[in-house]
Structure 1
Amino acid sequence: MENKQLAKDLIDFIDKSPCSYYSVKNTEDFLKDHGFKKYCLKEKLNLKTGDKGYFVINDSGILAFDIGSENIEEKGFSLVGSHTDSPGFRIKSNPVMKNAGLIKLNTEVYGGPIFSTWLDRVLSLAGRVSLKTDKALEPELRLVNIDKDLLIIPNLAIHMNREVNKGFEYNQQKHLLPIMALDSNEKVDNDYLTELLADELKVKAEDILSYDLYLYDRQGGALVGANEEFISVGRQDNLSMLYSSLRAFVEGSPKGVNILLATDNEEVGSRSIQGADSPMLGDLLERIAIGLGKTREDYYRAMANSFLISSDMAHALHPNFEEVADPTNRPILGKGPVIKYAANKSYTSDALSAGIFKNLCAKANVNCQDFHNRSDRAGGSTIGPISETHLSIKAVDIGGPMFAMHSIRELGAVSDLMDFYKVFKEFYSL
């Protein structure tokens, strides 16, 4: 596989995944195309060597497995974990607002987006909608993506804010609400969006119970640079890691049980049933063990022989902002995977787990780099430390070097994506 083709495939995957629900749907479709079977969380599992399947958790999380051996006590689980969500804006309930002759939507911030990058962009909405059924505890859930240049958050003219280029603090409730239409003085209330969703889904407006909707950028991704060496597209944090691990996962040759994990809500603390800060991962791994006829003792032995690669993105040394980087640990774009360390354990990497990952990189003939935050700057975290609080498992935190993390458009390197694919494939074949 060529570097650029893998990058183009990633861009296509991201463009078709405007929010976490579509990230999971497209992951599920890819797994189905490669012979994986969907298992229902409510059903009893009976598993054996050679079985390949997956679980979908609340539409926006997914765990897939590939059983190479029933001897999990000795072989363990080989896990690569990523997340499906990205920072942005969520639509509130009763969102329609009218003023200044316009109709706009009320939003709230999801995670930590770079606000200014969302202004003057053509946007639309995607997510899921719940519909009435004759079963009160089982509403129908439908995904929706309004494939239309629907919304925009306009900037204020520089003539009215001459100091804007010296820095401006955006008020989340006032300045970041997207405009949807001119106010035609017709009756427009909070059914305006509901009617739009009803038309899109071909259902009655009164059958719509609720929704989880998010803004997304309508501009597609691209390869840029003199030699098309850069990937320019949003949501690389963290669909770049999800996609590269997914491609490696379906091509792996498991000696134990390979696991692909993609959780949701990492950007807001992972506090959901489909997030890393839940019993979900441990429950599903134990159910796989039970489905193989194992005891709980066998499961605990398997965990002692397991390894988790928590894969997220990492900060590359920015040529225009070198002063924000650590003096001696300065990952470079295009120079391979980054191992992330933190004394406060916001990343899981230690001498053991980092050594394991460096061995994997060497076997895959891939360079790797180290990252620490500057000692006077607080960094981020990811699903690795959260997962370790729920499971007794060795783990490392790694990521792809990039610029503009949490911008509406992020920048990565084509060669780094291929390096991750190679390392993950090596890991999934051990």
Structure 2
Amino acid sequence: MSKDFIEEYKEFLSECKTERECVSEIVRMAENAGFRDVMKCDSLKAGDKVYSVKMKKAVALFTIGTSGIENGMNILGAHIDSPRLDVKQNPVYEKDFLVYLNTHYYGGIKKYQWVTIPLAIHGVVCRKDGSVVDIRIGEDEGDPVFCISDILPHLAQKQMKESAAEFIPGESLDLVIGSGIPRRKGDDKDDEEKKKEKASAKKAVMALIKEKYGIEESDFGSAELEIVPAGRARDLGLDRSLILAYGQDDRSCAYASVRALLEGGCGARTSCCICVDKEEIGSVGATGMGSHFFENAVAEVVARLPEGFSELSLRRCLANSSMLSSDVNAAFDPMNADLFDRANASFLGGGIVFNKYTGSRGKSGASDANPEFIARLRNILDAAGVRYQMAELGKVDQGGGGTIAFEAAKYGMNVLDAGVSVLSMHAPWEITSREDIMQAFGAYKAFLSLD
């Protein structure tokens, strides 16, 4: 079971590098497990399984419990967006015989980590006639890949004196997507010929794009294209104890949460798993946890139950719910040990990580879990033989981070951050432990059984 689960997890990471790809695969998995679109259901009863999707980038799954919905739900909440580069609306340009794709980075990245590595393009282009073209270039063996160039060390004296935050400007993170052939120096050409020649490489690239995808340059204005590391998830280490992959923050927790719900049965309380977008930029937008998507999805469920809908029933349901904010934590890094309080750090292979509070420095922006709730979880996980560790993100004054927990806590429910340790978090390639993935899966299953 463990080996199969990990191989399926790696396949998920390899195939699902955008929010849309994640939602599509999660819906496929859910429908195979007997889930239906809640909007296609007239009524619901105990044991029914339904899902709700928002803009193809957020999804909520529900297994209806036997007790009244006002008693609350057990919720697993994760996010499926990851740091990356997004393609701008007017992106294609040529500069001195090289053709570039202009980008805008998304989420907290170290910009220098994204240069000189193979990159792929994933996403959609929406035409004015309503048709949608799926784009995925750089993943198949025969595909070309893309790259952001960098200065050779021989000429990098000025660059090497600048800070890491400055020596790769955000506006320099543009993808090389083609090239032309410069004219020989001394060629005698008039201004009109030079002008035509200057844009010839871009025209050739756009002609290729139009031929293969039927896309005009203006169609980039209604596109959603993401630049991600090219390549598949791999085992890391001679003992294969670790996993190297893009997007493990937070798709490690999202995948384990979804699988826990799909493989769980009908309990007293309704089980829910929500996977949202935009966490890496503040949980904003229509598909982020800060939107009304989750509340609206729960309302659709409540409206189809025998008790019927009322605003009070919805509010009681949310306030009486319990949630694990399934999000990752920074793994202790022996090469940078001075950044961590070792006694309160999480270690690769140590099991699922509980963060009582997140936030930064003086707990700014934190969701601080109630100790009574943590005690209940400790009890059930000990009984289930699940390994867990209590930790913080790093030393108090070093920085910090947040999750979707504070958004769920607004409803008055119990919320605790619980996820997988990640080394090299937010890098193009992140490291997790196979053991931790399995322990997180076990913890999520045990949590969903809470009465």
- Fold conserved (TM > 0.5)? yes
1:339 aligns with one of 354, 362, 370: 354
1:81 aligns with 2:77: yes
Matched position secondary structure for 2:396: coil
Q: For the Cα contact (< 8 Å) 1:253–1:428, is it kept in 2?
A: no
- After TM superposition, list the pairs within 5 Å mapping 1:46-61 onto structure 2: 46-61=43-58
Bigger Rg, which one: 2
CA distance in 2, matches of 1:195, 1:360: 60
Aligned equivalent of 2:293, options 274, 280, 294:
280
Unaligned stretches of 5+ in structure 2? Answer: 182-196
Q: SS in structure 2 opposite 1:358?
A: helix
Match of 1:90 in 2: 86
Matched, 1:236 2:248: yes
User: Which secondary structure state, in structure 2, belongs to the residue aligned with residue 404 of structure 1?
Assistant: coil
Partner of 1:422: 442
| Range that drifts further, 348-357 or 49-58 | 348-357
Rate the CA distance shift 1:232–1:327 in 2: closer, same or farther, 3 A.
closer
Residue number in structure 1 paired with 2:186: none
Match of 2:15 in 1: 16
Native 8 Å contact 2:30 2:262 kept in 1: yes
Structure 1 gap segments, 5+ residues each = 134-138
The residue type paired with residue 427 of structure 2 is S
Asked if the contact 2:367/2:409 (under 8 Å) is kept, the reply is no
Residues 153-210 of structure 1 show CA distances to partners (whole Å, capped at 9, x for unaligned) of 1221111114766754334344321111112547459877765555454577777761
Contact 1:158–1:164 (8 Å) recurs in 2: no
Structure with the bigger percentage of helix:
2
Cα offset for 1:382? Answer: 0.8
The alignment of Structure 1 onto Structure 2 pairs a total of residues equal to 420
> What is the 5 A alignment of 1:4-403?
4-40=3-39, 45-69=42-66, 71-74=68-71, 76-133=72-129, 139-147=130-138, 148-162=143-157, 168=164, 169-184=166-181, 185=197, 187=199, 198-201=210-213, 210-255=222-267, 256-292=269-305, 293-340=308-355, 341-342=357-358, 343-372=363-392, 373-389=394-410, 391-403=411-423
Kept in 2: contact 1:264–1:274 (CA 8 A) = yes
Return 46-55 or 311-320, whichever deviates more.
46-55
Q: Distance in 1 between matches of 2:301 and 2:203?
A: 45
Shift of 1:48: 1.9
- Percent identity over the alignment is 25
More displaced stretch, 157-166 vs 374-383: 157-166
Amino acid at match of 1:160: L
SS of the aligned residue for 2:364 comes to: coil
Q: CA deviation at 1:246?
A: 1.1
The two structures, once aligned, show a CA RMSD in angstroms of 2.4
Tell me, what secondary structure is at the counterpart of 2:326? Answer: strand
- Counterpart CA distance in 2 for 1:399 and 1:306 is 19
Residues 1:218 and 1:226: Cα distance change in structure 2 (over 3 Å) = same
Report the CA distance between 1:421 and its aligned residue.
Answer: 0.7
Q: Is the 8 A contact 2:126 2:133 kept in 1?
A: yes
Q: Contact between 1:339 and 1:370, CA under 8 Å: does it hold in 2?
A: yes
Task: Name which of structure 1's ranges 55-64 and 347-356 shifts more when overlaid on structure 2.
Answer: 347-356
**TM score, norm. by length of structure 1:** 0.90
Letter in 2 for 1:31: A
